[in-house]
Amino acid sequence: MNTHIPHPEQLHPDALQLLKEHNFSIIEGGDGYNAEIVISPVSHSMTCDEVEKYPNLKYIVRTGVGTDNIDGIICGERSIEIINAPGSNAFAVAEYVVTMMLTLSRNIHLLSGELWKGGWRQPEFIGNDLKDNIVGLIGFGAIGQHLAKLLLSVGVERIVYYDKHLDDDPQIDERIVRLNLNEVLATAKLISIQIPLLPETKGFLSMKEFELMQKGSYLVNVSRGGVVNEDDLLTALNETILMGAAVDVFENEPNPRRDLIDHPKTICTPHVAGYSQSSQREMSMAPIRELIKRTESLDV
């Protein structure tokens, strides 16, 4: 089957080799619009107009987790299958969140800022051990569950979580308790949100939710930028509802707003929570393996 790879530099070499070993006809870069398969990295938007350029398209292979920039309506109308890599970077994201929680809990972001300004440590910026915090998780899928296990391993005594779509409590540990959203926001001092961007989750955390949090709380956002209202996030930081926020995702990528990046209480990174050497490889390999599985009975 003809396979278009418009951004070959974003596909792991092992995944490209796997495609060749299974006799897929590869078109790298350039004009490959007659292809039946397109390999689409997360940064590549498959809008309706983009999909319509491919008259023979049967599969969109997303080398990553998020599919919010793929037009699902046109894909449904044309019976185009979307293959992605759910869970492939979950451990990498969980590690990132723990890193940010440790940094925020100890107020490293504030102490570093003092040093840059020519100051020294300030008593009001001396933080807490991570283990002394109640941690709240919004979203308890693959990332949330990996995260909970990591947090327990570093001594966190209590974790509360909210997940609307989880049917059964995984019951990983008695120190992990399921609550409703308002209870999580009011109970935890450190909160991480890891949910997909859907019509119903846009602006999921806004001023109404921030006002339920304890004064001096911390937030880590590894969802999608639109899940947290950025104007309200800035207000929460300025009013010290939040003592700090780690932000890896933004409403406008790759050109996020400067007032959020430059805020003294934020730690901002360029959407890298899920990117490590091993997770990058797996985000390419997992959907390619699934593609091969689905097409193995066909002449590829």
Backbone phi and psi for residue 9, each to the nearest 5 degrees, phi listed first: -65, -15
Q: What is the DSSP string of 102-121?
A: HHHHTTHHHHHHHHHTT---
The separation between the first and the last C-alpha atoms of the chain, rounded to the nearest angstrom, is: 5
Residue 180 is inside which H or E element, if any? none
253 is catalytic: yes
Catalytic residue among 62, 109, 263, 271: 271
Q: Cα–Cα distances in Å, from 156 out to 125, 128, 148, 242, 286?
A: 21, 12, 9, 20, 32
Given 78, 121, 253, 294, the catalytic residue:
253
| Among 85, 86, 62, CA closest to 10 | 62
DSSP state at residue 236? H
- With both helix axes pointing from N to C terminus, report the angle between 277-295 and 13-21 in degrees, rounded to the nearest 10: 20
Alpha-helical runs (H) found in 45-158: 48-52, 72-77, 90-105, 108-116, 142-153
Does residue 254 have a cis peptide bond before it, meaning omega lies within 30 degrees of 0?
A: yes
* Partners of 247 in the β-ladder: 221, 268
Determine which one of 224, 230, 251, 263 is catalytic: 224
Q: How far apart are CA 2 and CA 23, in angstroms?
A: 10
Active site includes 109?
no
Which 8-state DSSP code applies to residue 85? -
CA distance 261 to 241: 18
What are the residue numbers of the active site?
A: 224, 253, 271
